[in-house]
Amino acid sequence: MTNRLFISADIPDEIKDKVIEFRDNIYGSNNNVKWENKTKLHFTLKFLGDVEDNKIKSIQIILEDLLKELSPIKCAFGKFGLFKRNEMPSVLWLGIKFNKELIQLSELINNSLEKIGFEKEKRKFKPHLTLIRLKGNENLEKINGFLDFDLPETKFEINEISLMKSELLSSGSFYNKIKSFKLNK
């Protein structure tokens, strides 16, 4: 059996609340728009795809070994941005200011998991929180308003990395934590 897995850098709940506050202040609280749920806000360090059950323990051992000596990672939000598909906006996201430690962690995870058969990520790591996957019924003028918004400085620490399972349902995706690893050196 396979599970759709990824590795996430988790952010504190109070920071997730701030993100939702920023979002609602810019866009308004429109119920026709399907924003990502607060519980789904995270930074993806590595998407693993469909993984056989018998590989999960190996992934956990590698992550535990990699992360046991790491300290929490200090971050600050940067700017909002858009990913596009066929010239049309497809994802609104919130990025962080350049963070060498988070980039190095992503590379370390990539290199370590390559040793047990996972393909190394070819794209440059761009840490971001996905706020909405655009479906076409959103107000693009308001969405573009995010790009010009100057965020107040918001600092936070990433002190937990998780191995996550993503289930695709007709109502959207749902995430379950398989195992979390504290950064507390």
3-state secondary structure of 171: coil
Given the residues 9, 42, 77, 118, the one annotated as active site? 42
14 is catalytic: no
User: Helix, strand, coil shares of the chain as percentages rounded to 5?
Assistant: 30, 40, 30
Given the residues 94, 128, 146, 159, the one annotated as active site? 128
42 is catalytic: yes
Token pair for 8: 């996430």
CB 62 within 8 A of CB 112: yes
- Count of CB atoms within 10 A of residue 27's CB? 19
- Which residues form the catalytic set? 42, 128
